[in-house]
Amino acid sequence: MEEPFTQPPTLTTERLLLRAPQESDIDAIFAACQDPEIQRWTVVPVPYRREDAEFFVRTLAPEGLRKGTEFIWCVTERATGQLVGTQAVTRFAADPTAASVGWWTVKEKRGRGHTVEAAREVARWALTDLGIRRLQWLAYVGNDGSRAVAERVGYRFEGTLRSYAEQRGVFRDSWVASLLPSDLG
């Protein structure tokens, strides 16, 4: 059994710092998750309360890290420290050499390439440093923004899974794509 992670990997890109969620992020996460588009395309609770942001920072992220099953980053601009969004890698319980990815982006930061930049760095880390053999991106059909990010990162589209992913008690059709170590440029 591998040792638990005591510190998440801090990742950097030209413009971004990806680090563990901190107490100081709670207000920004709470504000971001009021966005109807984040609520529409993710599984964040609706309505999203401040307590949900506190749970995300204080419990969900550290527990996943401690178990080595989920790695969650707050993505911030290096120049300003402003929250851009989040990124996550979640290992599959049945096969810890495979994992899923997910992200959301603060409304005001969309369309600037931040999420692509962060997702590339997360993929590189997961496929090399963590030793993941397959990263899977999954999104509800219609989430064109997330699909555009996945395609720009290099995920290969594999199809549509009917009535596949649950969101608040409803199973929705989902797109699936993957990225393998051999796909890294």
Q: What percent of the chain has pLDDT over 70?
A: 97
Domains of the chain by start residue, with CATH: 11-183 (3.40.630.30)
- Mean pLDDT for 31-43 is 97
Instruction: Using the predicted structure, report yes or no on whether residue 103 has a pLDDT greater than 50.
Output: yes
Place of tokens 């527990």: 63
Cα 34 to Cα 184: distance, rounded to the nearest angstrom: 34
pLDDT band at residue 5 under the 50/70/90 scheme = confident
pLDDT band at residue 4 under the 50/70/90 scheme = low
- Rg of the chain over all Cα atoms, to the nearest angstrom: 15
Instruction: Using the predicted structure, report yes or no on whether residue 69 has a pLDDT greater than 80.
Output: yes
Cα 27 to Cα 31: distance, rounded to the nearest angstrom: 6
Burial class (CB in 10 A: 0-12, 13-18, 19+), 61: buried
Residue type, 93: A
Cα 80 to chain centroid, rounded: 21
> What pLDDT sits at residue 185?
72
- Mean pLDDT for 64-90 is 96
pLDDT band at residue 22 under the 50/70/90 scheme = very high
Angle at 53 between CA 50 and CA 58, to 5 degrees: 120
Instruction: Using the predicted structure, report yes or no on whether residue 136 has a pLDDT greater than 50.
Output: yes
- Give, as one character, the DSSP assignment of residue 30: H
